[in-house]
Structure 1
């Protein structure tokens, strides 16, 4: 199963995410994260936040620092252990599958963030239904995924409009690892979102000047072909 491969892959990546990504992975620390944090609601103190797909806990730590009550979940047991080492007892950390029913009561959270996680899930319908269920009315859902432009070159069909499984190869910790995930055209990303939430905005992040200083070639590549896409939505449970 693809999910088993995803778990195995991120168990393998856990040490790198815990010790290296925060300062050496420019696509994370100087591209996706700065823009995501600009989109985070400013009223987080004492709010309940779900970090859905927490990896090694970088976002969970940011939200704790902002005064939120944080619950961090991930499908990878090794990532969960890494998050626990980072945040200690400052938030709740547990292993959970985002493609299944979540272990939370209705209307539990004020804010759900999911960073670079949802493209590992084939069917967003169950996931978004669960997010809507556990998110309070008028709560915010913020997520980032691979941009369709980035994944098109990996498409086995070379048809932009297909939703399909792709395979990429990443180098982490001196090793080459096959990584499997799903690519979607932009219209599917948007339409799957508005099926369950009220769309607020879409952001295509740009790399920071520090990114440019450290890797001019990759900076110029991202300015021509974006790698990530950020979507913000609201949980309007009262809508028709």
Structure 2
């Protein structure tokens, strides 16, 4: 992940902490219900890495499920927000997922990464690290932008490219540049398959609550998916 992502999410940290977790239906009534549905209802005795924790919503849910949680984010302000949210109930660190991770081999039973990986250009080293730090049979659950949605923002018009894009988000009357990498579906799946077996692919649909609160956006999402979710299991040993 580059410094622009860190700077962007330092700017967004207050908004995430106080607004996104409760006021964004794309999170609360779209992505999160689908992700949580793919997790066991009991994670006691499981060590879980929340890889890209933002303001700590998933960190808190994982704690409630009984997991021993380690949370990381590239943004120091997001790390502080997560610490405020969960106190000492989780270990929280400022870490770049694009670098070598400071964890021993076979440390975690699960890695959860919500809407983070599209900020990383090359997934190969990140997924290699994820495989290394997962226990045998460990699970990876991640959500990312849906490639069909991202292609609408493409400037080069080449669907098959790994393209750097700068989106514009309006927050509190200000426009904030949000950089990320668009990639085709085959790249998402094939990069995952190098180190993992894919168990499920979900294109989530918004909830009925979303429909009641935002009917027009609901109809758009039912025809044009914004996110996709992949659940995968670690292949073999760390040297595969």
Matched, 1:57 2:56: yes
Alignment of 1:63-212 (within 5 A): 63-212=62-211
Give the 3-state SS of the residue equivalent to 1:119 in structure 2: helix
**How much does 1:148 deviate?**
0.4
**How much does 1:167 deviate?**
1.4
Give the 3-state SS of the residue equivalent to 1:125 in structure 2: helix
Contact 2:162 2:183 in 1 (8 A): yes
**How much does 1:43 deviate?**
4.0
Q: Give the Cα–Cα distance (whole angstroms) in 2 for the partners of residues 141 and 41 of structure 1.
A: 13
Aligned to 2:233: 234
Q: Give the Cα–Cα distance (whole angstroms) in 1 for the partners of residues 188 and 63 of structure 2.
A: 29
**TM-score with structure 1 length normalisation?**
0.97
Q: Give the Cα–Cα distance (whole angstroms) in 2 for the partners of residues 131 and 172 of structure 1.
A: 33
1:32-74 residue CA offsets vs partner (Å, 9 max, x unmatched): 0000000113341121000000000000000001111000000
Bigger shift: residues 134-143 or 168-177: 168-177
**How much does 1:171 deviate?**
1.4
Give the 3-state SS of the residue equivalent to 2:138 in structure 1: strand
5+ residue gaps in structure 2?
Answer: none
Contact 2:46 2:108 in 1 (8 A): yes
Q: Give the Cα–Cα distance (whole angstroms) in 1 for the partners of residues 185 and 51 of structure 2.
A: 22
Contact 2:109 2:134 in 1 (8 A): yes
1:146-190 residue CA offsets vs partner (Å, 9 max, x unmatched): 000111111111121111111111112332111110011101000
Aligned to 2:221: 222
Give the 3-state SS of the residue equivalent to 2:204 in structure 1: coil
**TM-score with structure 2 length normalisation?**
0.97
1:90-119 residue CA offsets vs partner (Å, 9 max, x unmatched): 010000010000010000000000000000
RMSD across aligned C-alpha pairs, in angstroms? Answer: 1.2
**How much does 1:236 deviate?**
2.4
Q: Give the Cα–Cα distance (whole angstroms) in 2 for the partners of residues 234 and 135 of structure 1.
A: 9
Q: Give the Cα–Cα distance (whole angstroms) in 2 for the partners of residues 170 and 30 of structure 1.
A: 20
